[in-house]
């Protein structure tokens, strides 16, 4: 076969998939503290109009703008779908394990997929500056790059503990031209309040979100806010992963009805949704019996231990309230290495799917997750990001059920990023010093 | 178009290309200090038989073993060939810029291509342990992974200055299960000698090679040696890059005769050769007018300022002598961030091509190279490894010749790795603290 392009642009989808109209029950709307529904006019204070339209859209497919498609190609999409034959062999499993590898994207994770889309729509509406928060820095670096591509200034509030522990991620954002402040910072009223309580406050994602939103609300309309997970439009953009995976599996003769398991880790839910949502209609319509596994850390058990209720997205209560599985917006997660999973809630759409039994949540502790990460690195070569290693752990557990069997189930998972900037955690694990939270 | 595979295995070549029979003059053989030719029996003391056969082979094409091909696929080959449209636009050039992106491989650089091949042949001959040296750690981490894949123990002598400055690369090697010693080390006679002179000796690649070879020679045949560049068989394995690029360009209707420039950076020469050698026969036969540009740092100007003569590959003079462009085997390069380019010599085959005017060497200083790296990051997204940023600098210079022109020359270069573990250098550059050596 001769390929018709240097890159397989034919694998790139032209549409994102919006799961909202296909959910088993209607998605509860965001609410104001008064109990009123937070309509588009509220969301438009911090987001551009087009993203608000996507946030509340009931269209099943939303066209990916050509310019965004071009940037997907420039960044190396489609990402490879790799059959993990080395891992299968090492586990002696009869299952076939496939993974989408999002770590090939420039900043090393899937976050670019929505960053570039968000920056594009903000650019179209003349936004000059975007504010955001970041934990470990995967999201912040993706948005910094996207801002550089569209000439938008990026200001990142980075959880102080990570700012100090992960200087390379901060440098990466600065290399793309972004401004990075450790949060809590003295830039905002919220930040100053926390700093007064404790000048060395380690910060949290919830606090950093509050700072970014306060910054936007006091910018006289010059700045907008950008979020890396949880919201409908963010998850929507990530479905490029699953849409590609459907086509790639089809190209080797595997239809969605043959996929037995789809697995991803969950912080806010975007990488899990990105891979799994395009497969879910086949389950809901009875065409497939796929088991969807959402993996979270035992230290931040929002799906397995949290309540399903309305809660704020940030610590200071500046966002509308979302109905979701939550540990409470004032929950400060322990300092696990998977910084991207240290969030008190999960996406409302994912919460509905969990509540209805379509998606099954599981939780693992830190040490078993790193053990799985090392096993994967030594067999498949890629050192998974600590976040993605949660998915790897679940996949290994599933694959072990098929040792010495003849059932060649397909297990598909999202390797949402590599861990080359998270090697300190691996070092702690190898030296026996890793806390097993 | 429907793709017939989840990965485009059709792009993967079945053969490596051996340039030796096509060189414009016969390759001078390696010599012993006595002046005698170092025959296969000498090389077999440190390398397995099959690699020695490849080292001295005159076959134009050498079959890639199926097992190695499988590992290329597992690691994500074929790597993407990306047209750098963002960069073209930012430069306002009429030239078309394409790059092979080797940073998608698990350890972030092209080094895996030969690491996995070398580990395979050593495994076939029952070798239990491989010793090697590494500077910045790109090569050491690739061989550590390859060793893990084939169950071979890897011992790495890492230049002490890098061992201390780049702990993440050391952790990466350890994550793959390798033993890593800072060189000079107390493990070898050579190492102890340097440590006696200076207990804080910063080390050099030449010293680390001497240590690895001494380790092998005193192992009673249990261990073999592995080198990441310079030698014929190493460059041979890297030609998978150029062979893929030929097919990928062909798939979009660009034949080798239409490629005006091929560019790569040079330390020992393996990534440059990997991309460029499969294109060179078209130039030698008069079918193409391609200009081949080999880029080196001004701080280590082996091709632009070195002598073409016989010299040792290591500091202690334990290797046979190779005829090559060299700065002298006792040359200690300044501590530039592009650790992979800090080597006193270049591959003998590349030296012949430079001497005969087929390949044109150019040299750039560190600051202009990082400036180019930042420009590339902000337009194309990928932060280049400091080594690869040398190629980027040359490409930008070439592309600028075609600003406002109608000539749509094809410029092809090798982005041999990403710089996510080299961000400290970018930080120095951004803060104005980078030495301009």
- In the 3-class helix/strand/coil scheme, how is chain A assigned residue by residue? CCCCCCCCHHHCCCEEECCHHHCCCCCCCCECCCCCECCHHHHCCCCCHHHHHHHCCCCCEEECCHHHHHHHHHCCCCCCEEECHHHHHHHCECCEEEEEEHHHCCCCECCHHHHHHHHHHHHHCCCCEEEEEECCCHHHHHHHHHHHHHCCEEEEEEEHHHHHHCHHHHHHHHHCCCEEEEECCCCCHHHHHHHHHCCCCCCCHHHHHHHHHHHHHCCCCCEEECCCCCCHHHHHHHCHHHHHHHHHHHHCCCCHHHEEEEEEECCCCHHHHHHHHHHHHHHHCCCCCCEEEEEEECCCCHHHHCEEEEEECCCCCCCCEEEEEECCCCCCCCCCCCHHHCCCECCHHHHHHHHCCCEEEEEECHHHHHHHHHHHHHHHCCCECHHHHHHHHHHHHHHHCCECCCCCCEEEEEECEECCCCHHHHHHHHCCCCCCC
% of residues, chain A, pLDDT over 90: 89
Over residues A243-289, the pLDDT tens digits come to 999 999 999 999 999 999 999 999 999 999 999 999 999 999 999 99
- Residue found under tokens 């600098």: B393
Q: How close is the nearest chain A Cα to the Cα of B413, in Å? A: 14
- Which pLDDT value is given to residue A186? 97
Instruction: Say how far apart CA A140 and CA A154 lie, in whole Å.
Output: 9
Residues contacting residue A422 through CB under 8 Å, at least 6 positions apart: A136, A166, A337, A385, A386
Over residues B37-59, the pLDDT tens digits come to 999 999 999 999 999 999 999 99
Tokens of A269: 């839910």
Tokens of A415: 């390797």
Residue in B with minimal Cα distance to A145: B381
Interhelix angle A386-400/A366-380, rounded to 10 degrees, is 80
Q: What are phi and psi of A198, to 5 degrees?
A: -155, 105
pLDDT at A143 over 70: yes
Instruction: Say how far apart CA B175 and CA A424 lie, in whole Å.
Output: 11
Residues contacting residue A86 through CB under 8 Å, at least 6 positions apart: A379, A380, A381, B71, B74, B149
% of residues, chain B, pLDDT over 90: 89
Across the range A6-26, mean pLDDT stands at 89
Over residues A167-189, the pLDDT tens digits come to 999 999 999 999 999 999 999 99
Decide if B423 and A80 are in contact by the 8 Å CB cutoff: no
Residue in A with minimal Cα distance to B372: A175
- Residue found under tokens 């061992």: B163
CA atoms within 13 A on the CB side of B331: 21
Instruction: Say how far apart CA A169 and CA A175 lie, in whole Å.
Output: 10
Across the range B100-108, mean pLDDT stands at 97
Q: Are strands B321-326 and A359-364 parallel, antiparallel or unpaired?
A: unpaired
Average predicted confidence (pLDDT) for chain A: 95
**Residue B1 — very low, low, confident or very high, per pLDDT cuts 50/70/90?**
very low
Residues contacting residue A30 through CB under 8 Å, at least 6 positions apart: A37, A38, A42, A43, A320, A321, A322
- Which pLDDT value is given to residue B2? 29
pLDDT at A291 over 70: yes
CATH architecture of the domain with residue range A2-10+66-108+233-430: 3-Layer(aba) Sandwich (3.40)
Question: Between these two residues, B295 and A221, which has the higher pLDDT value?
Answer: B295
**Residue B322 — very low, low, confident or very high, per pLDDT cuts 50/70/90?**
very high
**Cβ-contact B418, B385 below 8 angstroms:** yes
Decide if A381 and B149 are in contact by the 8 Å CB cutoff: yes
- Which pLDDT value is given to residue A180? 98
Q: Measured between beta carbons, which residues in chain B are less than 8 angstroms from residue A176?
A: 377-378
pLDDT at B166 over 90: no
pLDDT at B3 over 60: no
Decide if A424 and B82 are in contact by the 8 Å CB cutoff: no
Minimal Cβ distance to A85: which of B70, B174, B249: B70
Decide if B80 and A7 are in contact by the 8 Å CB cutoff: yes
Decide if B171 and A70 are in contact by the 8 Å CB cutoff: no
pLDDT at B9 over 80: no
Across the range A143-164, mean pLDDT stands at 96
Q: What are phi and psi of B45, to 5 degrees?
A: -65, -30
- Which pLDDT value is given to residue A83? 96
Over residues A45-102, the pLDDT tens digits come to 999 999 999 999 999 999 999 999 999 999 999 999 999 999 999 999 999 999 999 9
Question: Is the Cβ of B39 closer than 8 Å to some Cβ of chain A?
Answer: no
Q: How close is the nearest chain A Cα to the Cα of B128, in Å? A: 17
| Chain centroid to CA B261 | 19
- Which pLDDT value is given to residue B204? 86
pLDDT at A42 over 90: yes
Across the range A342-356, mean pLDDT stands at 96
CA atoms within 13 A on the CB side of A417: 32
**Residue B385 — very low, low, confident or very high, per pLDDT cuts 50/70/90?**
very high
- Which pLDDT value is given to residue B334? 87
Question: Is the Cβ of A377 closer than 8 Å to some Cβ of chain B?
Answer: yes
% of residues, chain A, pLDDT over 70: 98
pLDDT at A2 over 60: no
Q: How close is the nearest chain B Cα to the Cα of A32, in Å? A: 38
pLDDT at A6 over 70: no
Query: What is the number of residues in chain B?
Result: 437
Minimal Cβ distance to B10: which of A3, A7, A248: A3
Question: Is the Cβ of B435 closer than 8 Å to some Cβ of chain A?
Answer: no
Question: Is the Cβ of A90 closer than 8 Å to some Cβ of chain B?
Answer: no
Q: How close is the nearest chain B Cα to the Cα of A4, in Å? A: 5
Cβ atoms within 10 Å, residue B380: 26
- Which pLDDT value is given to residue A166? 83
**Residue B7 — very low, low, confident or very high, per pLDDT cuts 50/70/90?**
low
Residue in A with minimal Cα distance to B9: A1
Across the range B160-165, mean pLDDT stands at 88
Lowest mean pLDDT among A145-154, A161-170, B1-10, B185-194: B1-10
Instruction: Residue window 137-156, chain A: list those with CB within 8 Å of chain B.
Output: 145, 148-149
Give one DSSP letter per residue of A177-198, joined into a string: T-EEEEES-TTSHHHHHHHHH-
pLDDT at B103 over 70: yes
Minimal Cβ distance to A380: which of B3, B74, B423: B74
CA dihedral (A294, A297, A298, A302) positive or negative: negative
CA atoms within 13 A on the CB side of A213: 23
- Which pLDDT value is given to residue A204? 86
pLDDT at B269 over 80: yes
pLDDT at A5 over 50: no
């Amino acid at each position: 076969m001769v390929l018709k392009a240097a890159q397989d642009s034919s694998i790139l989808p032209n549409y994102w998939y919006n799961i909202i109209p296909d959910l088993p029950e209607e998605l509860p709307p965001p609410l104001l503290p008064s109990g009123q529904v937070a309509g588009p006019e509220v969301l438009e204070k911090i987001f551009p109009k087009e993203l608000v339209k996507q946030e509340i859209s009931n269209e099943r497919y939303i066209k990916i703008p050509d310019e965004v498609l071009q940037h997907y190609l420039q960044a190396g999409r489609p990402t490879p779908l790799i059959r993990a034959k080395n891992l299968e062999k090492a586990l002696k499993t009869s299952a076939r394990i496939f993974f989408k590898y999002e770590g090939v994207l420039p900043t090393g994770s899937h976050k670019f997929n929505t960053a570039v889309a968000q920056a594009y729509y903000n650019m179209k509406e003349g936004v000059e500056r975007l504010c955001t928060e970041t934990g470990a820095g995967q999201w912040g670096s993706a948005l910094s790059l996207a801002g550089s591509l569209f000439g938008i200034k990026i200001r990142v509030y980075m959880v102080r503990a990570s700012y100090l522990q992960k200087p390379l991620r901060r440098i990466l954002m600065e290399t793309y031209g972004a401004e990075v402040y450790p949060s809590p910072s003295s830039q905002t009223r919220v930040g100053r309040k926390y700093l007064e309580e404790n000048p060395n406050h380690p910060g949290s994602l919830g606090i950093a979100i509050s700072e970014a939103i306060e910054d936007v609300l006091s910018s006289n309309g010059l700045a907008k806010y950008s979020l890396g997970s949880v919201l409908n439009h963010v998850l929507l953009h990530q479905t490029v992963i699953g849409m590609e995976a459907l086509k790639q599996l089809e190209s080797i003769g595997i239809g969605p009805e043959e996929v037995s398991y789809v697995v991803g880790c969950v912080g806010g839910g975007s990488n899990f949704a990105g891979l799994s949502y395009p497969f879910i209609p086949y389950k809901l319509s009875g065409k497939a019996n796929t088991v969807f596994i959402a993996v979270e850390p035992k230290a931040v058990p929002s799906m397995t231990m949290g309540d399903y209720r309305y809660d704020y997205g940030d610590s200071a209560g500046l966002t509308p309230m979302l109905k979701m599985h939550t540990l409470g917006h004032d929950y400060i997660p322990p300092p696990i290495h998977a910084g991207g999973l240290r969030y008190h809630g999960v996406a409302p759409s994912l919460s509905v799917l969990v509540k209805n039994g379509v998606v099954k949540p599981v939780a693992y502790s830190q040490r078993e997750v790193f053990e799985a990460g090392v096993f994967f690195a030594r067999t498949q070569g890629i050192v998974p990001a600590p976040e993605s290693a949660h998915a790897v752990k679940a996949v290994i557990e599933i694959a072990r059920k098929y040792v010495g069997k003849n059932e060649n189930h397909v297990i598909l998972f999202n390797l949402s990023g590599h861990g080359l900037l998270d090697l300190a955690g691996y070092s702690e694990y190898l030296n026996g010093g890793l806390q097993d939270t």
